[in-house]
């Protein structure tokens, strides 16, 4: 896969800002890098459009881990998810956060996306944890990109191959680590709960193949899944320090190649030129 990325400018806010916005500190380890990049992208779209409220589509958004915080920033969010239970939890969560009027949940999936939402109707599209499960990742990316307006941004988050290989090896499962490394789908065996994993090059090729420019690529959970939880929970200042380490390593190719997840920010030509 080609990698024509321009040198990525840092899109990070201080990692501690994400921690303050998340009432569950340990959860921030999983979302801090993505949230900082996404919040910056939303801010830039607000400035470019001159509108304080954007239309955001969250495909596979589940119970609203990102949708509700985005709505709290003042944006209108449509969540598409195949699970009725997740959508029920989304409705409750949005109500508790006081943003029920800005969050709409509809049942559907990436394959039949335009059966339930408008084509070309969104400023920002989130596709988090979806590509691992669709039959055709390229078609999945093309579908979510088709939901963007001419000036729009895609936030894509998917399972990383390197992180799975490293995790299996550190757990002493060396044959499974080798299997994941050699398997076309990045699976370590029949019991692997994740159907497919990606390299950064594979994800950027999918995004570029759908007609977008690459704005940034980040590794997510480079260290968080490897550090014993007791250290983070009991050592004073450990959580903040780990958040800062994750932010510092996220854009470095050597570290994102072993991240549990990979985040790609794609931009339409119009958004990239704005």
Q: What is the pLDDT of residues 164-183, one digit of tens each?
A: 999 999 999 999 999 999 99
Tokens 């968080």 label which residue?
A: 224
Is 90 exceeded by the pLDDT of residue 152?
yes
pLDDT confidence bin for 272, thresholds 50/70/90: low
Q: Is 151 left (phi over 0), alpha (psi -120 to 50) or beta?
A: beta
Distance CA 111, CA 118 (A): 14
Other beta carbons within 10 angstroms of residue 191's beta carbon come to 7
Distance CA 111, CA 266 (A): 20
pLDDT confidence bin for 231, thresholds 50/70/90: confident
Own/partner pairs, 186-193, CB within 8 angstroms, 24+ separation: 186/159, 186/161, 188/164
Question: Which residue in 246, 245, 243, 250 sits closest to 216, CA to CA?
Answer: 250
Alpha helix ranges (H) inside the chain: 15-21, 25-49, 67-72, 84-96, 137-146, 161-170, 174-182, 200-209, 229-234, 238-249, 253-256, 269-273
Q: What is the pLDDT of residues 76-119, one digit of tens each?
A: 999 999 999 999 999 999 999 999 999 999 999 888 999 999 99
Question: Considering the entire predicted model, what is its pTM?
Answer: 0.88
Q: What 3-state DSSP class applies to 209?
A: helix
CB 32 within 8 A of CB 14: no
Tokens 């916005």 label which residue?
A: 21
Other beta carbons within 10 angstroms of residue 58's beta carbon come to 28
Spatial CB neighbours of 147, under 8 Å, sequence gap ≥ 6: 57, 113, 114, 117, 118, 119, 120, 121, 122, 125
Q: What is the pLDDT of residues 26-81, one digit of tens each?
A: 567 778 999 999 999 999 999 999 999 999 999 999 999 999 999 999 999 999 99
- With pLDDT > 70 as the criterion, what percentage of the chain qualifies? 89
Structure tokens at 9: 């400018």
Structure confidence at residue 27 (pLDDT) = 64
Question: Which residue in 60, 53, 19 sits closest to 36, CA to CA?
Answer: 19
């Amino acid at each position: 896969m080609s990698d024509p990325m321009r040198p990525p400018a840092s899109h990070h806010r201080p990692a501690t800002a994400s921690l303050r916005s998340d009432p569950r500190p340990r959860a921030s380890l999983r979302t801090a890098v993505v949230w900082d990049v996404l919040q910056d992208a939303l801010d830039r779209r607000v400035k470019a459009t001159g509108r304080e409220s954007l239309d955001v589509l969250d495909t596979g958004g589940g119970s609203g881990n990102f949708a509700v915080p985005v709505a709290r920033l003042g944006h209108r969010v449509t969540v598409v998810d195949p699970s009725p239970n997740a959508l029920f939890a989304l409705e409750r969560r949005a109500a508790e956060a006081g943003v029920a009027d800005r969050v709409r949940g509809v049942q559907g999936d990436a394959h039949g996306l335009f059966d339930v939402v408008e084509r070309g109707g969104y400023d920002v599209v989130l596709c988090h944890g979806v590509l691992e499960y669709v039959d055709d990742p390229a078609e999945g990316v093309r579908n979510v990109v088709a939901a963007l307006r001419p000036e729009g941004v895609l936030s894509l988050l998917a399972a990383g191959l390197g992180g799975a290989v490293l995790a299996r090896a550190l757990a002493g499962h060396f044959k499974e680590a080798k299997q994941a490394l050699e398997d076309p789908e990045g699976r370590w065996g029949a019991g692997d709960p994740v159907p497919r994993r990606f390299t950064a090059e594979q994800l950027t090729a999918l995004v570029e193949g759908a007609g977008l420019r690459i704005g940034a690529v980040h590794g997510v959970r480079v260290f968080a899944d490897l550090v014993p939880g007791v250290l983070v929970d009991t050592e004073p200042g450990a959580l903040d320090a780990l958040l800062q380490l994750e932010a510092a390593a996220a854009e470095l190719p050597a570290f994102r190649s072993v991240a549990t997840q990979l985040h790609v920010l794609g931009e339409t030509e119009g958004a990239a030129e704005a």
